[in-house]
Amino acid sequence: MAKSKKNIVYSTNPDFKFEYDEDVVEDTLPNKQQKLRVLLDKKQRKGKVVTLIEGFKGSSDDLKELGKILKSKCGGGGSAKDGEILIQGDHRDKIMDLLKAEGYQVKRVGG
């Protein structure tokens, strides 16, 4: 991905140095420090139910890896982005057991 120049249209200063938007790589917190929330969601999903895991703090690669593991254990599809993992179907109990076994702090939100 190309770096984008930040807040500059044009400069006549010959000594000017461009500021670039740097991709910030966030360190992934250890499992014991992660506080994840597991909830059921059906908003904007045409009535379909999904299990949502929120609160992951870390790199997108680690988030996707955890999402991949949970999807395979639950036998469903889903996605992982923006600190959230979405698994198709109601798998709250199974996901909570899997996350607790991995050492995550897990809280069930709602019903």
Q: Is residue 23 part of a domain?
A: no
pTM (2 d.p.):
0.73
Element (H, E) at 100: helix 92-101
Q: Which residue has the tokens 């910030």?
A: 24
CA distance 51 to 40: 5
Say how many Å lie between the first and final Cα of the chain, rounded: 42
Find out whether 76 and 88 touch, Cβ atoms under 8 Å.
Answer: yes
Q: Is 110 left (phi over 0), alpha (psi -120 to 50) or beta?
A: left
The count of structural domains within the chain is 1
Residue 7 placed within a domain: no
The domain in which residue 75 lies consists of 31-109
Q: What is the pLDDT of residues 17-56, one digit of tens each?
A: 766 655 555 678 888 888 999 999 888 778 889 999 999 9
